Amino acid sequence: MAESATPGAVTAVADGPVLEVTLNRGKANAIDAATSRELSRVFAGFRDDADLRVAILTGAGDRFFCAGWDLNAAAGGEEFEADYGEGGFGGFGELPGLLKPVIAAVNGMAVGGGFEIVLAADFVVAVDHARFWLPEASLGIVPDAAAVRLPRMLPPAVANEVLYAGRRLDAAEALHSGLVNSMVGRADLMVEAHALAARIVEAAPLPVAAIHQIRDRTQHLPLHEAFELLRSGELAAYEAMLASEDAAEGPKAFTEGRPPRWQGS
């Protein structure tokens, strides 16, 4: 019989075009392989549902957003390189074909793999008591996703201290460094996350997907190679946007002084 996540560990509720995903797994919201596969299933459904435009991922409670890999599962024999689902650990950071934004609404501490989930999000809203750190090196393992992403997001000396020495960042430091979009009190966390989602939804869906694809495919390239790829016709989402009716609708609506009517085509 296939292993399954703890019942109720992941809930997903659609509010119009916004999918709110909540991790609710014990006091620390730690993730084992089965829960990660469930998150992958949820985010694959988000990817494939044309009516959904933005996802918000948060944790239950006030103390932990996510404590990362469930070390109790590890002690019970679950391997570090377990099957976490097609989206990788946390469900969406490595999900093929995901061209929709994910907002992390960080309700508390984001530790280890929980911090890596935050780094994979497109936008981050955090409570003022949030904390971010990577204890993996002190536990004999490697924060592999963070080792890839964090040096691209922080100054080298700071990224190194976080990765090698477990330096903890508070919400204010994360905001100042650009890891977080906004910092709010606990009562305002989901209000702020949904307000951000609403602003994203106001944009046409095809440009949002195109921007996502351009970013993912070009950020590692030298500038001239990035522009060559952009003009090559190989970026399907970008080409679909250029040929769309929405690309004509936006300027037309602007000149006519009315809200645009996006068709997604």
Regarding predicted confidence, which is higher, 72 or 49? 49
Residue 69: half-sphere exposure toward Cβ, Cα within 13 Å: 28
Q: Is 101 part of a structural domain of the chain?
A: yes
Residue 208 shares a structural domain with residue 174: no
Condensed to tens digits (0 to 9), the pLDDT of residues 11-42 reads 999 999 999 999 999 889 999 999 999 999 99
Q: Let me know whether 172 and 118 are in one domain.
A: yes
How would you class 73 by CB atoms within 10 Å of its CB: exposed for 0-12, middle for 13-18, buried for 19 or more? middle
Look at residue 264 and tell me if it is in a domain.
no
Q: What is the pLDDT of residue 1?
A: 27
The answer on 97 and 15 residing in a single domain is yes
Runs of H (alpha helix) within the chain: 33-48, 71-75, 113-120, 144-149, 156-165, 171-177, 189-202, 205-218, 223-230, 236-242, 245-256
Going by the DSSP 8-state scheme, the letter that residue 69 receives in this structure is B
Asked if 192 and 72 sit in the same domain, the reply is: yes
**Sign of torsion over alpha carbons 252, 15, 63, 5:** negative
Domain span at residue 74 reads 10-201
Radius of gyration of the chain (CA): 19
Segment 128-164, tens digit of pLDDT? 999 999 999 998 889 999 999 999 999 999 999 999 9
Return the CATH number at 109.
3.90.226.10
Domain end point (choices 201, 216, 234): 201
Tokens 């309700």 sit on residue: 107
- 97 and 216 Cβ atoms separated by less than 8 Å: no
CA–CA separation, 17 and 51 (whole Å): 6
| CB-CB contact of 127 with 172 (8 Å) | no
Amino acid at 51: D
| 184-215 tens-digit pLDDT | 999 999 999 999 999 999 999 999 999 999 99
Amino acid, single-letter form, for residue 159: A
**Is the domain of 175 the same as that of 216?**
no
Q: Both tokens of residue 187?
A: 């009562």
Residue 169 domain-assigned (yes or no): yes
Number of domains the chain contains: 2
Is 149 within a domain? yes
What's this model's pTM, rounded to 2 decimal places? 0.93
**Cα dist from 214 to 207, 229, 241, whole Å:** 10, 9, 12
Query: Residue 3 pLDDT > 50, yes or no?
Result: no
Quickly state the pLDDT bin for 69 (edges 50, 70, 90): confident
**149 and 230 fall within a common domain:** no
Q: Catalytic residue positions?
A: 116, 136
